[in-house]
Structure 1
Amino acid sequence: MFTKALFPVDLEDIVTAEHALKYLNGILSKGQEIHLLGVLPGFNMPVVASYFPEGAIETAIAAMEHQLTELAELNLADNVHWEVHVAEGAPHREIVKTAKRLDCDLIAIPSHNHSLVEKVLLGSVTAKVVEQASCSVFVMR
C-alpha cells in the first residue's frame, strides 16, 4: 500500500473531485497521508502577470487554498491526516514535481472524460502524469 498520496484537484470539476475523495477516504488507513494539490496557470510569467492587478495572484492562491480545505473538511474523515498545497504552472509538471518534493509514493488522480479533439489538441494531464511520474499513479474514473 502507500503512506503518502498526492491528490490533484481540478476545482472546475468539483463533482469528480468529491467522488474521488470519498472513495479515497474509504480506503485510507491509519498512518496514511493525503496531500491535496490545486494548480493555477502560470500567472507569474511577466507577460501574463502584467494583465492582472497587484495582489491578484495572492488572492487567487488564498481562494484556492480555502476551496481545497473546504473540500477536504467535507469529504475526509476526522482521523485522516491531510494537507493542502497550491502550485502555479503546467498542471502535469506541477503534479509530478510536487509528488517528488513531498516524497509521495502514490498519485491518486481522477480522470476526466474529454472528447477526442480535446485530447489531441490539449493532451491529457492524467496521461502526462502517468508517463512522467516516478511513483505509482492510481487513475480513478
Structure 2
Amino acid sequence: MFKTILLPIDLQHESSWKTALPAARRLLDEGGTLHLLGVVHDVGNAWVASYLPKGYEQRALEEMKAQLGDFVSRELGGVAGVTTHVGHGHVAETIIATAEKISADMIVMAAHPPDELRTFRVSSQADRVVRHSPVSVMLMR
C-alpha cells in the first residue's frame, strides 16, 4: 500500500482514468492522499502562440482547475484525501516533476495498448514516464 499516489488524467478521455482511478484507490493507504494531475500542454512555439487569443494559456490553466474540481465532485464525492494539481508543459516531464514535488510513492496511469509502429516512431507518454520516473509506476490498460 502507498501513502501518496499521483494519478495523471486527461479529462477529455475517460480511458485515462476509468481503470486507473479504481486501481489507485485500492493501492492507497488509509489516510493517504490521492493526487490528481491535469496537464495543460505548452504551446511551445512563439509563432503558434501568436495566433492564440491573449491570455489563452492562463484561461486554459484556470479551466483545467475548475474541471478537475468538477471531476472530483462527480467521481470522488465524499472521498477524503484527494488533492488536485494543474501542470503546464510537456506531459511526461510534468508528471515526473509533480511526482517529485509531492514526494509520490507511486504513479498510477493509463496506457494505450501496445502498438509497435507508433511506439517506434513516437514514444508514448507512459513509456517516457516509466523510463524516467524516480518512483514505481503502475500502468493500467
TM-score interval w.r.t. the shorter chain? 0.7 to 0.9
2: CA distance, partners of 1:136 / 1:50: 39
Aligned amino acid, residue 3 of structure 2: T
Answer yes or no: is 1:108 the counterpart of 2:108: yes
Which ranges in structure 2 are unaligned for 5 or more consecutive residues? none
Aligned amino acid, residue 133 of structure 1: S
Deviation of the 1:26 alpha carbon: 4.2
2: CA distance, partners of 1:16 / 1:27: 17
DSSP-derived class of the 2:48 partner:
helix
Measured on the aligned residues, the alpha-carbon RMSD in Å equals 2.0
CA contact (8 A) 1:30 1:80 kept: no
1: CA distance, partners of 2:103 / 2:86: 16
Q: Which moved more, 1:21-30 or 1:101-110?
A: 21-30
Q: Pairwise mapping of residues 70-89 of structure 1 onto structure 2 (< 5 A)?
A: 70-76=70-76, 78-89=78-89
Deviation of the 1:43 alpha carbon: 2.6
Which ranges in structure 1 are unaligned for 5 or more consecutive residues? none
Aligned amino acid, residue 97 of structure 2: K
1: CA distance, partners of 2:116 / 2:63: 32
1: CA distance, partners of 2:132 / 2:123: 14
Q: Greater helix percent: which structure?
A: 1
- Aligned-residue sequence identity (percent) comes to 30
DSSP-derived class of the 1:12 partner:
coil
Q: Greater strand percent: which structure?
A: 2
Superposition TM-score, scaled by structure 1 size: 0.86
2: CA distance, partners of 1:129 / 1:90: 11
Superposition TM-score, scaled by structure 2 size: 0.86
Deviation of the 1:19 alpha carbon: 3.4
Residue in 2 aligned with 1:6? 6
2: CA distance, partners of 1:138 / 1:119: 18
Q: Quickly say closer, same or farther: Cα 1:124–1:44, change in 2 above 3 A.
A: closer
For residues 74-127 of structure 1, the C-alpha deviation after alignment (integer angstroms, 9 at most, x for no partner) is 222523311111112111111001100111111011112364333222211111
Deviation of the 1:29 alpha carbon: 3.9
Count of aligned pairs: 141
CA contact (8 A) 2:8 2:95 kept: yes
